[in-house]
Amino acid sequence: MERMPKVTHHYLRTKKEFPNVWCAGCGIGIVLGAIIRAIDKLKLSRDEVVMISGIGCSSRMPVYVDFNTLHTTHGRPLAFGTGVKLAKPSLKVIIITGDGDALAIGGNHFIHACRRNIDLTTILINNQTYGMTGGQFAPTTPFMKMGTTAPYGNRERAFDIAKLSIAAGAPFVARGTVYHVVQLEKLVEQALLKNGFSLLEVISHCHTLYGRLNKEGGPVEMMKWQKQHAIPISAAGKVPPEKLRGKFLTGVLWDIEFPEYCEEYDKVIAEAQGNA
């Protein structure tokens, strides 16, 4: 009896673009699987989904999926996504980006996309390093952790992506990990359903560079670290403050309602045409 292909296989360009470029044990494939299962569960068609990325390990993702896709320039996926959404507001636009792509060269685009509140689902994979280009320290590399450009330890403080997003105006901010894959899939669903700018930070790992440089082990050890340091926001109030030190919260961290940009822009057009 012929075996039925997995759900993920229906959405992949398996005959064209594989094998992929990701290192064995990388968490980015886990994120890809969670996104595909969420899209399948929400019954979104391939034609109504647009996946856009910039440059980096995580930004290779659109190459492998059978949606409308754009693999764009470094730090600019949100700019391209804004153009697509304004041109065709009915499309479900998913931005795939990394911590370097989004917060360093793309930092200005990121904060203004949060502030503007255009309906983009942004999935930011945070592996705390520049994985594709050699392990340089990134805006998310923790203080005193090693990078190829920080051989004596990184002396800069890391961005807290969730706090930065909330302060910039994003109405929906969530965080998950590649270890907690069931929760991650649900968070992707919630982010896709949000009308407005949604930010989902996914804590992943780069064992090839960051893990090796900082002696944190391979993918199994680094995923165990995620398990040990993640605390669901629903349980945070029951945990003594001293036990929260050095940990991070997962789940939906912020969810408010605010007028979506495309809808507001339509009002401007109507008013300018005398139809308001």
Taking the domains of the chain in order of start, what are their residue ranges?
25-272
pLDDT-based confidence at residue 132 (cuts at 50, 70, 90): confident
Query: First vs last Cα of the chain: how many Å apart?
Result: 62
Mean pLDDT of 240-265: 94
CATH superfamily of 25-272: Thiamin diphosphate (ThDP)-binding fold, Pyr/PP domains (3.40.50.970)
For position 3, what pLDDT does the model report? Answer: 53
pLDDT-based confidence at residue 124 (cuts at 50, 70, 90): very high
Query: Amino acid identity of 145?
Result: K
For position 24, what pLDDT does the model report? Answer: 95
**Which tokens hold the place of 197?**
């700018």
Contact 63, 32 (CB under 8 A): no
pLDDT at 149 over 60: yes
3-state secondary structure of 222: helix
Mean pLDDT of 42-57: 96
Mean pLDDT of 135-161: 94
pLDDT at 67 over 90: yes
Q: Which residue, among 123, 124, 151, has the nearest Cα to 137 in the 3D structure?
A: 151
- The full DSSP string for 94-107 is EEEEEHHIIIIITH
Kindly state the percentage of the chain with pLDDT values over 90.
86
Q: Which residue, among 209, 254, 201, 203, has the nearest Cα to 228 in the 3D structure?
A: 203
DSSP letter at 6? P
For position 130, what pLDDT does the model report? Answer: 92
User: What's the CA gap between 68 and 190, in Å, rounded?
Assistant: 21
**Which tokens hold the place of 124?**
């930011």
Rg (CA), the chain: 19
Condensed to tens digits (0 to 9), the pLDDT of residues 158-202 reads 999 999 999 999 999 999 999 999 999 999 999 999 999 999 999
| Residues facing 232 on adjacent strands | 250
pLDDT-based confidence at residue 275 (cuts at 50, 70, 90): confident
Which range is least confidently modeled, 12-26, 83-97, 152-166, 190-204? Answer: 12-26
pLDDT at 1 over 50: no
For position 5, what pLDDT does the model report? Answer: 61
- The separation between CA 162 and the C-alpha centre of its own chain, rounded to angstroms, equals 11
Q: Which residue, among 93, 82, 31, has the nearest Cα to 57 in the 3D structure?
A: 31
